[in-house]
Structure 1
Amino acid sequence: MDSSLKILSMNCRGLGDKQKRRDVFQYLKQKHTNIICLQDVHFNDKKEPIIEAEWRFKTLICGYTTAARGVTILFNNNFEYKLNKICKDTISGNFIIIDIEVSQKRFILANIYGPNEDNPKFYQNIQSKLQNFQCENMIICGDWNLTLNPEKDTFNYKHVNNPKARLQVLKLCDELDPVDVWRYSNENK
């Protein structure tokens, strides 16, 4: 493997259907990534052995219902890694945060599926969980169900979606000083 780590993040809008899951897994394998963060998978934790058998490599699932929400982290076998700690949202199945080492470099990887309602406490909880890991290197993936920059990211919306939660995420950004990789690479889009 080269020294770069390839991580893909995608909202699946449900993978309960076996054929859809097979198609999505086939698509994901063609991407030749190392780690895949999926949101809105509609899995509960009991499905982890089944999904891992279908994916054929290490799988982490967090979810409590097969009808909504849920996040999954899929690992490929094309790189070496060590999982040091796993933190799952046992209440709503909306996040997994892991402490992982790759090529002797430690970082935190968070896969987040933000609630559809305006819930700033969810993001306060995320911030607290991230701070508990005590690691400077973080990668935060997911679908936050809000926009940080409504002027650039929304068109013809009458109101800002989830305004209180958005303010909480902006506070989190002030504290953690993250780089939005997509925005950095697509400044004018």
Structure 2
Amino acid sequence: MHACSNNSVETRVLLHFVLWNVKGLNNLVKRSKVFSHLKSFKPDVMFLQETHLNINSQKRLSCKWIGQIYHSRFNYKARGTAILIRKGVPFEHSEVISDPNGRYIVVVGKLFNTPLILANIYGPNWDNAQFFLNFFSTLPDLNSYKLILGGDFNCVLHPQLDRSSVRSSNNLSSAAVAINSLLRSYGLSDPWRVKNPTTKQFSFFSPVHHSYSRIDYFIVDNQRLPRPRSQSY
């Protein structure tokens, strides 16, 4: 889980964003625990990955304190991404871009009258640079919108810092090369890494490799979006 609080210059309102790979929400008991835990963070916007909900079960994302639900489904055993917005948050959507393979959901709209894109992504767990190139090509013109992108990228962007174990080769994957190039091209950054340039902190444990890694990120606009005030894993 990755939490990020962002202070809007235009409104001086502090908004709390949370992202979490929930690894399935079909089970009632687990779903209840997930939403109870989410609520304890007092989030305004939630990015969930691996919801594992199909068209008939995505209503399970409904909750009394959630006002808006945007979901990209695949099937009840895999993938699925969702953006949930708390009641009272004045976000007005104008367009929704939903991946038919359940890998991402993009919501275009306005927040406090500021044009904004919310994008949640669940990257492939294999080296697939083309996926990220295709994803960025679906985004509307970033010169006209601020962007908050979050999700489980399934990709280490800085091997020496974002892995707990030292491998014989710390070469970047082709996906990481593509992502880093896209961030530079679009003027985007990983604000946690900007604030913690040498810190090692992780979001995922691999029992197969017996190692930790940081593969979950929030990505924000360098120039037009104020830097988040606080972030934590």
TM-score by length of 2: 0.73
The range that moved more, 130-139 or 65-74, is 130-139
Q: 2:114 aligns with which of 90, 105, 108?
A: 105
What is the deviation of 1:160?
5.5
Residue 27 (structure 1) aligns with:
37
Aligned-pair distance for 1:87? 0.2
Residues in 2 aligned to 1:161 and 1:19: alpha-carbon distance in whole angstroms: 42
The answer to whether the 8 Å contact 1:118/1:162 transfers is no
Cα deviation, residue 131, structure 1: 4.3
Query: 1: CA distance between counterparts of 2:171 and 2:136?
Result: 20
The answer to whether the 8 A contact 2:160-2:170 is kept is no
Q: 1:11: which partner in 2?
A: 21
CA apart distance, 1:44: 2.0
Equivalent residue for 1:175?
A: 185
Find the counterpart in structure 1 of residue 128 from structure 2: 119
Q: How far apart in 2 are the matches of 1:136 and 1:86?
A: 14
1:62-96 superposed Cα distances (whole Å, 9 cap, x missing partner): 12111111111111103211011100101x10000
CA drift of 1:173 comes to 1.1
Q: Structure 1 stretches (4+) deviating beyond 4 angstroms?
A: 53-56, 131-134, 158-162
* Matched-pair identity in %: 28
Of 21, 27, 44, 2:54 maps to: 44
Instruction: Say if 2:55 and 2:73, in contact at 8 Å, map to a contact too.
Output: yes
Q: Secondary structure at the match of 2:188?
A: coil
Q: CA 1:39 to 1:161, structure 2 compared with 1: closer, same or farther past 3 Å? A: farther
* Equivalent of residue 68 in structure 1, options 78, 95, 108: 78
Which of 115, 125, 135 matches 2:144?
A: 135
Any idea what SS the aligned residue of 2:134 has?
Answer: helix
Contact 1:44–1:61 under 8 Å retained in 2: no
Q: 1:5: Cα distance to partner?
A: 2.1
CA displacement at 1:185 relative to structure 2: 2.9
Whole-Å Cα distance in 1 between the matches of residues 142 and 98 of structure 2?
13
**Structure with the bigger percentage of strand:** 2
Q: Give the direction of change, closer, same or farther, for the CA distance of 1:108–1:56 in structure 2 (3 Å limit).
A: closer
Deviations 1:86-129 (A, max 9, x none): 00101x10000111211111111110000011111211111101
- On the 8 A contact 2:53/2:75 being kept in 1, the answer is yes
- Comparing 46-55 and 22-31, the one that deviates more: 46-55
Farther-moved stretch of structure 1 (144-153 vs 3-12): 3-12
| 2:86 equivalent to 1:86 | no
| Deviations 1:2-41, CA, capped at 9 Å, x for gaps | 6122211111122221111110101111211111001112
Structure 2: segments with no counterpart, 5+ residues: 1-10, 200-233
